[in-house]
Amino acid sequence: MHVLTWGCQMNVYDSERLTDVLAAAGWATAGSAAEADLVVLNTCHIRERAAEKLFSELGRLRKLKAVREAEGERMRLAVAGCVAQAEGKEILARAPYVDVVLGPQTYHRLPAMLARAEREGAVIDTEFPAEPKFDFLPETRAAAGGPVAFLAIQEGCDKFCSFCVVPYTRGAEQSRPAVAVLAEARALVGRGAREITLLGQNVNAWRGEAPEGGLWSLAQLLRALSQIPGLGRLRYTTSHPVDMDEGLIAAHREIPVLMPFLHLPVQSGSDRVLKQMGRRHRATDYLRIVRRLRAARPDIALSSDFIVGYPGESDADFAATLGLIREVGFAQAFSFKYSPRPGTPAARAPGQVPEAEKKARLAALQALLREQQRRFNAAMVGRWLPVLFAGSGRQPGQAVGRSPYLQPVHVAAPAGPQALLGRIREVRILAALPNSLAATLEPEEHTRA
């Protein structure tokens, strides 16, 4: 089998779990699609032209499949993920050589679906089963090894922002029980993870079954995870402002291994636009959360998502977004031109903003965000920062890791990058580059881990 992944960290995690499911059913990993007896495309629906990208990839695979069949061999094709969920029927109509189409909620059923496709022809399963898929997964295996690991604890979204497909493709909010999360975290640490990032579309909406019964909040889960020996760093992503409660804000003060970095999408700085988007918070709510986070953890670095050119967005609305950015000061951010997604309310909204206007606004917004990122990185020069090393750099003898603020940091590693792998070391920042920091290792006595 060969699994190709597009999209977010959740999809990367899902692909690893899909690989585990298939491995448990006896499928071996192939080095490339051309050699595989099964190719799975794990798709993403959030970016523009997602379906076109899928069909062009399928066209390429169809040729590989024909070559294999001419050689008397089989190649099965499965389309998984959010495009599969949203456009399952269309996929089978336009690409009848696909064997299985499955949504993000049903990938534990893939081996059974492949067997059924063998007997009955193409199978599609984009149900939202009542039983959470988390209950059906074998123990994590594919993610073994690295010092930086991801762990899905929550899935789905009940927020229904007017521009977004996620509630339709990923379904309702579901939280994994604490016992299962703690067990997987311990297993990951046992296999070398020093940092775990908890994943969920609305990760801070996590309300999971507690070990002794009742429910825990994310803050309580973080506290329990922070007790795992050998776990040096915790992160979580992506959060929604309405679920950023006082307990979670306090966790940033109280849990030393919880890293001072938060990705908290705001989308717009205009209350009028936020209301149209169905975001359930105003700009001032966001600013208040930021103030409280900074009171709890003064060095916390913030990241966000922005959409420009939402239907009806005026020059004044856009100016309010720039104002919010200036007021917060972001360490990094992602920004997008609004683009209509079929089936979402905003796609039918009046006042669609002309493309040229969206382009101009995006350029202005990104210039401001770039400048803030540059300033944030430049302020690190001369400081000592703990870095978790996770790999080797582009140049020989170079090791790369991440700062607490998620900045890539590279150093010359005299004993080779391998010697630093999985270690948290204090380094001195020498220079700030546009997207990374250059640093030097401190003498051994300052070593942390």
Residues found near ligand 5AD in the complex (CB under 6 A): 46, 163-164, 265, 267, 305, 307, 336, 338-339, 341
Q: What is residue 297's DSSP assignment?
A: S
157 binds ligand SF4 (CB under 6 A): yes
d(C-alpha 343, C-alpha 50), whole Å? 15
Choose among ligand 5AD, ligand SF4, none what residue 341 binds, the Cβ cut-off being 5 to 8 Å by kind. Answer: ligand 5AD
d(CA 355, CA 343) in angstroms, rounded, equals 21
Helices (H), 25-109: 50-70, 81-94
Cα gap 4→100, rounded to integer Å? 15
Choosing among ligand SF4, ligand 5AD, none, which partner's interface includes residue 171 (Cβ < 5 to 8 Å by kind)? Answer: none
Report the residue from 80, 148, 153, 166 that binds ligand SF4 according to the rule CB under 6 A.
166
Q: Does 7 bind ligand SF4 (CB under 6 A)?
A: no
Q: How far apart are CA 190 and CA 184, in angstroms?
A: 10
**In angstroms, what is the minimal distance from the CB of 155 to ligand SF4?**
11
The answer for residues whose C-beta is within 8 angstroms of residue 168's C-beta and 6 or more apart is: 85, 86, 343, 344
Nearest distance, CB of residue 125 and ligand 5AD, angstroms: 25
Q: Could you say which of 164, 251, 320, 424 contacts ligand SF4 (CB under 6 A)?
A: 164
336 binds, among ligand SF4, ligand 5AD, none (CB under 5 to 8 A by kind): ligand 5AD
Q: Is 167 among the residues that bind ligand SF4 (CB under 6 A)?
A: yes
Minimum CB separation from ligand SF4 for residue 339, in Å?
A: 14
Question: Could you tell which of ligand 5AD, ligand SF4, none binds residue 338, using a CB distance below 5 to 8 A set by kind?
Answer: ligand 5AD
| Residue closer to ligand SF4, measured from CB, 3 or 46 | 46
Distance CA 15, CA 6 (A): 10
Q: Which is nearer to ligand 5AD, 46 or 222 (CB)?
A: 46
In 10 A of CB 56, how many CB atoms? 10
The 237-276 site mask, x for binding ligand SF4 (CB under 6 A), equals ---x------------------------------------
> Residue 159's binding partner, choosing from ligand SF4, ligand 5AD, none, with beta-carbon cut-off 5 to 8 A by kind?
ligand SF4
Residue corresponding to tokens 């999408």: 265
CB closer to ligand SF4, 202 vs 332: 202
Contact 154, 134 (CB under 8 A): no
CB of 434 to ligand 5AD, least distance (A): 22
DSSP-assigned states of every residue in 127-168: ---SS-GGGGPPPP-TT-S-SEEEEE-EE--S---TT--HHH
DSSP 19: H
How far is the C-alpha of 238 from the C-alpha of 199, rounded, in Å?
7
Rounded to whole angstroms, how far apart are CA atoms 22 and 36? 13
Q: Which is nearer to ligand 5AD, 109 or 341 (CB)?
A: 341
Contacts of 388 (CB under 8 A, 6+ apart): 147, 148, 194, 195, 232, 233, 401, 402, 422, 423, 424
Partner interacting with residue 46 (select from ligand 5AD, ligand SF4, none; CB below 5-8 Å by kind): ligand 5AD
CB 390 within 8 A of CB 399: no
Among residues 285 and 442, whose Cβ is nearest to ligand 5AD? 285
Cβ proximity to ligand 5AD, 2 vs 358, nearer residue: 358
The residue ranges that bind ligand SF4 (CB under 6 A) are 157, 159-161, 164, 166-167, 201-202, 240
